[in-house]
Structure 1
Amino acid sequence: MPADSRDPRDPRDPRGLRDPRQRRAPRKKPITVERITDAALEVVATEGYDALTIRRVAAVLGTGPSSLYAHIVNKDDIDDLLIGRLYAEVTLPEPDPAAWREQLAGVYTQIRDLYLKYPGVSRAALAMVPTSLETLRVGEGILAILLAGGIEPRTAGWARDALSLYVSAYALEQSLVRQRRRHEDPEWVLSHEELLTRFTALPPEQFPQTRAHAADLISGTGPDRFEFTLGLLMNNLGPTAG
């Protein structure tokens, strides 16, 4: 067939080469651990931790779940990546024996604030064995602060677990309260005034102490109570005698 009789719809030139003006589909970005972590954080930030699944993360990345399994084993791996990413933002002080309680409170306050930025993400830290280097870095820093305060190693380890558990639980409770407020669920989230009214309206013969001290029982803000509980835990720690 003569060269000039080829089908004009044929995108190739007479030499069999593709017309360079024809646009190619852009290549997809490769799936990486960093991109998986970014997508997981996006899901938690916009939809909450309950929405976090491997399938949902894959959808954000525009791929299928099987593409993620080259980088993770299961959702526990995503949890570890999430906490590691958050802990990378935690600043650790040089342990000071004279100020170890203040330093410890400062580190845990940073962790609390990071958890509160992503609704429910503190659940990822519960019952998780950390493998992320950033998570381990923060754990090492907390342990170093406790040891600098003269706390015996086993006590320091148990105290770190107890403090971390409280901070995770506090942040999780706050996220649940926020969620219920968004859904306008008055049965679960009461105003200060409504709660005071309910307590003071209880039968006096059954609840004399609750009625008498209702204002004290519901006093203080969330941060006030957070600082109080950290202090309560830390003030029971001290250098080993001898």
Structure 2
Amino acid sequence: MNPRERRAARHQPPNPDAGTDPRPRRRKAPLTVDQVVDTALDVIATEGYEALTMRRLAGALDTGPASLYAHVVNKADLDELLIGRLCAALALPEPDPATWRDQIRSICTRIRDQYLDYPGISRAALAMAPTDLETMRVSEGMLAILLAGGVAPQAAAWAVDALLLYVAAYCLEASIVRQRAAHDDDAWVLDRDELLRRLTALPAAAFPHTTRHAAEITAGTGHERFDFAVSLMIDGLGRR
């Protein structure tokens, strides 16, 4: 089975009747897809997503690129495996019409926290075709919760996409801010007092609202703003 056939097979439900491979195992255990994903996540956790290249991953696995490509088609395939692994760790609640808003909010928060554990990994979730079974399981679960809450199917479908897009974008921005903060010249981006000073120092005639409401513009932590944005979208669905 070539790499593309392996990738296609991963997108199919497991066959409980499939037998075990009768061929004898080699003395040395071969590389597995799970090992590839485990190692890739280790690289991201310590060095960030931008450091993860196929060459870097092959080196971390102490193997050659040819062995790696025997299991992963390309970087896009690896991205799909990474996000699928994170989705596999998410436990989804049984849809409850009485608490559907809290259920959706909780899922978004847990996805956010997963992404933040692996700096920049949310980039892998952007512009991804949803074909991985675990990724689809999360989308299916979110869709079921919204439908149980009385949201119309079209609005529910677009809302799942919008919520996941916002979560990924929020986490990507957080990773970029973290990178910039590592340089002394960019440390001010995390300093609310400095940002407040810059906004209030603007000419009031040209920026009357910004200068007057600089405190509100700079208020809150990143997660408080995240909760606000997610709740805004969810509450909007309820009103529809």
Distance in 2 of aligned mates of 1:136 and 1:224: 28
Q: What RMSD over aligned residues (CA atoms) do the two structures have, in Å?
A: 1.5
- Which stretch of structure 1 is more off in the superposition, 93-102 or 132-141? 132-141
Q: 1:51-93 CA deviation, whole Å, 9 max, x = no partner?
A: 1111111111101111112212110111011111111111211
Aligned residue for 1:189, secondary structure, equals helix
Q: Return closer, same or farther for 1:82/1:188 CA change in 2, 3 Å cut-off.
A: farther
- For CA contacts below 8 A with separation 6 or more, give which structure has more relative contact order: 2
Matches of 1:175 and 1:90 in 2, distance apart? 22
How far apart, in 2, do the equivalents of 1:223 and 1:198 lie?
23
| In structure 1, distance between residues paired with 2:149 and 2:206 | 45
**Aligned-residue offset at 1:239:** 7.6
| 2:218 alignment partner in structure 1 | 218
Q: Give the TM-score normalised by the residue count of structure 2.
A: 0.85
Distance 1:101 1:61 in 2: 43
The 8 Å contact of residues 152 and 239 in structure 1, kept in 2 or not, is answered as: no
Which 5+ residue runs of structure 2 have no aligned equivalent? 1-26
Task: Report the counterpart of residue 5 of structure 1 in structure 2.
Answer: none
Bigger mean CA deviation after superposition, 113-122 or 201-210: 201-210
Cα deviation 1:16-42 (Å, max 9, x = unaligned):
xxxxxxxxxxx6541110011011101
Q: Deviations over 1:178-204 (max 9, x none)?
A: 111123332762411101111111011
Distance 2:185 2:34 in 1: 37
What SS is found at the alignment partner of 1:179? Answer: helix
Cα displacement string for residues 127-176 of structure 1 (whole angstroms, at most 9, x for unaligned residues): 00133221111111101101101111111110100000000000001111
Q: How many pairs are equivalent?
A: 214
What is the CA-CA distance between 1:45 and the residue it aligns to?
A: 0.8
TM-score, scaled to structure 1: 0.85
Give, in whole Å, the separation in 1 of the partners of 2:143 and 2:64. Answer: 40
Cα distance between partner residues in 2 of 1:165 and 1:191: 27
Q: How does 1:121-200 map to 2 (within 5 A)?
A: 121-186=121-186, 189-200=189-200
